[in-house]
Amino acid sequence: MNSNRSTGVAILGLGTIGSAVARLINQRGASIGELYGLDLKVTRILERGPERAARADLPRDLVTTSLDEILSDDGVSVVVETLGGESPAADWIEASLKAGKHVVTANKEALSKNFDRLQRAAHQSGSALLFEASVGGGIPLLVSYRQILAANQITSLRGIVNGTTNYILSQMTTAGATFDDALAQAQELGYAEPDPTADVEGFDAVYKLSILASIMAGTHIHPDSIERTGITGVTPDDIASASAGGEVIKLLGQATLIGGAVKASVGPERVSADNLLAHVRDNYNAVELVGDSVGPVVLSGQGAGPDPTASAILSDIVEALTSGASSNVPWKV
Amino acid sequence: MNSNRSTGVAILGLGTIGSAVARLINQRGASIGELYGLDLKVTRILERGPERAARADLPRDLVTTSLDEILSDDGVSVVVETLGGESPAADWIEASLKAGKHVVTANKEALSKNFDRLQRAAHQSGSALLFEASVGGGIPLLVSYRQILAANQITSLRGIVNGTTNYILSQMTTAGATFDDALAQAQELGYAEPDPTADVEGFDAVYKLSILASIMAGTHIHPDSIERTGITGVTPDDIASASAGGEVIKLLGQATLIGGAVKASVGPERVSADNLLAHVRDNYNAVELVGDSVGPVVLSGQGAGPDPTASAILSDIVEALTSGASSNVPWKV
């Protein structure tokens, strides 16, 4: 006898992240039933064909090429968007919300470029739009932000939100590698894409910082409005000079509340060895939040990868179905 | 026009923590009204006399010496227990829960020695027993634990949960101080008590680890059952020898899930400089949680002090009034 509430999850895009989510839902099913009284099941997959479902050991008949079919399926409560990229993801997130589905996404680009519109769609439909996985991967960052926010004005934040560049800078620091050698190594290990532009030029970090800065400001801070410098110009000499001063170079996203407005930027910065951020190695991420009562709080963990990302997505699925909150952090439309 | 829900908070014990809570409720009142629709007010204070209320700029007529008066006051929704110590705090927490009040506490000793009994009282009354402030002060630790737990088996945790001993060991490491000199300095700065036993012998850390280990085990792990070694025996030679191996000595609380049971201990340990915990300085705290999907997640911040503790307490007050959860993490009675 299973008296748990049966809940269908649809996954849009069964790439490495989507497949990891399906696997994790299966693996954690019994525990989630016990802890939350939910009987979670992947009941729909949006893909071009059934091959990926078969490869992920999922029934081929879950696959559809029609978003409408998913949106009109009353058995689907939560849509997990793991397509990536702005288009068509942002429109599909909006359509899902308007159809009364909760949406969980890791898509920093779609969100950061459409934050206001998507939050409004969630608010109007009464559905949840949850995106813990979009910034800092598996790190419980937004849930911590929300908890701190209840008791603090959060006056600034800064962090390492791109694992690829942190790996490259770590290699340059500890092994004395040049940027080109460290990049080649990151590409070999799968930490960097064949075209590394989005990472090394800071675009990925800007998307993530845009989401954090928007939350902080209470208004949409578009990625285009964020000052951006990549790490392609960082030289071994820069690293050595920082090191001589007891500092290391990190690609930091920073947002500060000044006179009611938020100033945000992404770029390589010297970080004192006294600060935990200086010791965040390899492809790990970390964010420091500063609250006026609590002081600085640092959260660190794996910022990318299928399993850590799926972990944050599954937490958000449970959150959507148990909390009634329409966003990871309070948001006024 | 204020359409917010009016909510009375009673504070048991107006020492430095209790006063900081009252101050923070006042300071954050408008924001909490806006974010959560709550009109929070301190309406009762349990104290021997009105002097402390007057010193904290609170009306003298809020003070009562009668717990019963508070428990029979329908205007009080949340009882904040900031007395410290096991007795009478544990009984008063239980009585408050049985009277249908939510309870928020920072009291690691009362909780760790009575975890099962107090959780049961909360469960039976349908009230919340929240204790984020009892471990790691202002660090959003339990909220992060809960979020990770939804998607992971948490297989181990370890951390620096006592700021006094971390300050002493940091001084011994960076300044080459002896234990006695570092302790004297900690006492001068107010980081250590005149009688430092509870900190330096590891009792305080054991209380906190007991709470974390109980959550992990899903059953009460009494502090007396936790292996405990203090730091009074740590010598400059130990520190130097660790340092030569690229390690530092930290007082760690550790809990590991082995074969369905939790093994817990507190004692000085060598930590590799590769790990963030090695770089947690002065009186800061940090805890590393390891989930089977997310991997290691480290959370760091101020583990004690009136403002960080009040921050966690106020977050829990809001949580009690908005979430309906009976504990910070799911707990089966």
The string of pLDDT tens digits covering residues B221-232 is: 999 999 999 999
Nearest to B17 by CA among B87, B65, B84: B84
Same domain assignment for residues B292 and B145: yes
Residues B12, B84 within the same domain: yes
Check residue B1 and give its pLDDT.
Answer: 42
Give CA–CA dist A319/B321, Å, rounded: 17
Q: Does residue B332 lie within any of the structural domains? A: no
Structural domain boundaries enclosing A230: 141-303
For testing the chain A interface, which of B293, B314, B323 should be mutated: the one with the most A CBs within 10 Å?
Answer: B293
The closest of A232, A245, A238 to A203, measured between CA atoms, is A232
| Residues 6+ positions from B259 with CB-CB distance below 8 Å | none
Q: Do B279 and A279 touch (CB under 8 A)?
A: yes
Domain count, chain A: 2
**Do A151 and A129 sit in the same domain of this protein?**
no
Claim to verify: residue A158 and residue A277 sit in the same structural domain: yes
Q: Measured between CA atoms, how close is A19 to chain B, in angstroms?
A: 13
For residue A88, what pLDDT is reported?
97
Residue B3 has pLDDT above 80, yes or no: no
What is the b/e burial string over A240-253, where b = at least 16 CB atoms within 10 angstroms of the residue's CB? eebeeeebbbbbbb
Q: What is the CATH number of the domain that holds B79?
A: 3.40.50.720
In this structure, are A213 and A97 located in the same domain? no
Same domain? For A126 and A57 the reply is: yes
Q: Are residues A149 and A297 in the same domain?
A: yes
Residue B329 resides in a domain: no
In a domain, A328, yes or no: no
Contacts with B296 from chain A: Cβ below 8 Å: 301-302
Instruction: Report, as residue numbers or ranges, the catalytic residues of B.
Output: 208
Q: Is residue A130 within a helix (H) or strand (E), and if so which, with residue range?
A: strand A129-130
pLDDT at A1: 42
Per-residue pLDDT, A79: 98
Could you say which residues from 25 to 54 on chain A have a Cβ atom under 8 Å away from some Cβ of chain B?
28, 31-32, 35-36
Burial class from Cβ neighbours inside 10 Å (0-12, 13-18, 19+) for residue A72 reads exposed
**CA A145 – CA A140 distance, rounded (Å):** 9
User: Same structural domain for residues A158 and A285?
Assistant: yes
Residue A332 in any domain: the answer is: no
Same-domain pairing of B11 and B132: yes
Query: Cβ of A291 and B280 within 8 Å?
Result: no
Q: Exactly one of A108, A113, A208, A250 is catalytic; name it.
A: A208
Are A294 and A146 in the same domain? yes
Residues A75 and A196 in one domain: no
Instruction: Indicate if the pLDDT at residue B299 is higher than 50.
Output: yes
Q: How far apart are CA A200 and CA A109, in angstroms?
A: 16
Residue A41 resides in a domain: yes
Q: Give me the average pLDDT of each 10-residue run along chain A (333 residues).
A: 79 96 96 94 95 91 97 97 97 98 98 97 96 98 97 97 98 95 96 96 98 96 98 97 97 94 97 97 97 98 96 98 90 82
- Does A323 reach chain B within 8 Å, measured CB to CB? yes
Contacts of A276 in chain B (CB under 8 A): 276, 279-280, 286, 300
In angstroms, what separates the C-alpha of B296 from chain A's closest C-alpha?
A: 6
Query: In this complex, which of B24, B274, B299 lies closest to A151 when CB atoms are compared?
Result: B24
Question: Which helix (H) or strand (E) covers residue B42, if one does?
Answer: strand B38-46
- Residues in CB range of B304: below 8 A, 6 or more apart: B137, B163, B283, B285
Q: Is the dihedral of CA B87, B91, B92, B93 positive or negative?
A: positive
Please indicate, yes or no, if residue A250 is contained in any of the structural domains. Answer: yes
Q: What is the CATH number of the domain that holds A159?
A: 3.30.360.10
Tell me how far apart the alpha carbons of residues A118 and A129 are, in angstroms, rounded to a whole number. Answer: 8
Q: Give which of B311, B318, B327 to mutate to test A binding, by max A Cβ within 10 Å.
A: B311
Asked if residue A327 belongs to a domain, the reply is no
Are residues A243 and A285 both part of a single domain? yes
Predicted TM-score of the model (pTM): 0.97
Q: Which residues of A touch B283 (CB under 8 A)?
A: none
| Contacts with B, A 218-237, CB within 8 Å | none
Closest CA to A286 of B296, B117, B201, B102: B296
Under a CB-based contact definition with an 8 Å cutoff, are residues B104 and B24 in contact? no
Write the residue in A36, A274, A293 that is nearest to B308 by C-beta: A293
Q: Is B140 on the interface with A (CB under 8 A)?
A: yes
